Structure 1
């Protein structure tokens, strides 16, 4: 199981504006520290394993942060509408579009996804795959 994911950022305030535009709507809670941002889902009573945390931090080696080629972090939304709403909110908060929300031929008929880049260039996906919503072939 994945315990945490970290992306680098040179401008933590700008990264906070971007990630706080959509992660709280997905129930992530923010903790700020001297070492950056930590977004975590609450641990439910009786839950034996904590969900993965998402960190946004300056680089440890002091060199400029850079996005990984082929690296992407995906966050699950509750609905197709939420994907659209959060994609728009993240764009308004300094992100750039990497693919408008919609269905993709390469994925299953209910996989609805929008792609973004954060201000540092890290690729982010927001997706929903609810089988109760209309699918690609409906």
Structure 2
């Protein structure tokens, strides 16, 4: 099981603006500290954490943060409409479009997805596979 995902950022304030544009809508809470941003899903008393957590941090070695070639983090939305809304919010918060919301021929008929780059260049996907919504072939 994946416990957490971390991406590097040189400008934490810019990263906060970008990720705060959509992660709270997916249920993530934000904790800030000197070490950066920590996004986590809420945990009911007596329950185990819902994983993975998502961290945005300065690099540990002090070198500039870089995006991984071929690396991507995907977040599941509740609906196709939410994918479109969060894509627009992320763009307005400094993200770059890497693929408009829609179905992709390479994936299953219910996989509705968009792709973004955060201000540091990390690739982010927002998707929905809601079985109660029309699929690509409907």
Q: TM-score, normalising length from structure 1?
A: 0.97
Partner of 2:68: 68
Q: What's 1:6 paired with?
A: 6
Aligned to 1:116: 116
- Whole-angstrom CA distance in 2 between matches of 1:114 and 1:24: 18
Q: Deviations over 1:58-77 (max 9, x none)?
A: 00000000000000000000
- Taking the aligned partners of 2:71 and 2:95, their CA distance within structure 1 comes to 17
Question: For 1:75-99, what per-residue CA distance to the aligned partner results, in whole angstroms no more than 9, with x for missing partners?
Answer: 0000000000000000000000000
Q: TM-score, normalised by structure 2?
A: 0.97
* Offset at residue 43 of structure 1 (A): 1.6
Give the equivalent residue in structure 2 for 1:28.
Answer: 28
The answer to whether the 8 A contact 2:42-2:49 is kept is: no
Structure 1 runs not aligned, ≥5 long: none
Q: How many residues align?
A: 138
Corresponding residue for 1:77? 77
Task: Give per-residue Cα distances to partners, 1:38-73, cap 9 Å, x unaligned.
Answer: 000012455335321000000000000000000000
1:48 match: 48
The alpha-carbon distance between structure 1 residues 58 and 83, as it changes in their structure 2 partners (threshold 3 A), is same
Q: Residues 136 and 94 from structure 1, CA distance in 2 versus in 1: closer, same or farther, beyond 3 angstroms?
A: same
1:43–1:51 contact (8 Å) kept in structure 2? no
For residue 81 of structure 1, give the secondary structure of its aligned residue in structure 2: helix
**Alpha-carbon RMSD:** 1.0
Inter-partner Cα distance in structure 2 for 1:49 and 1:22? 20
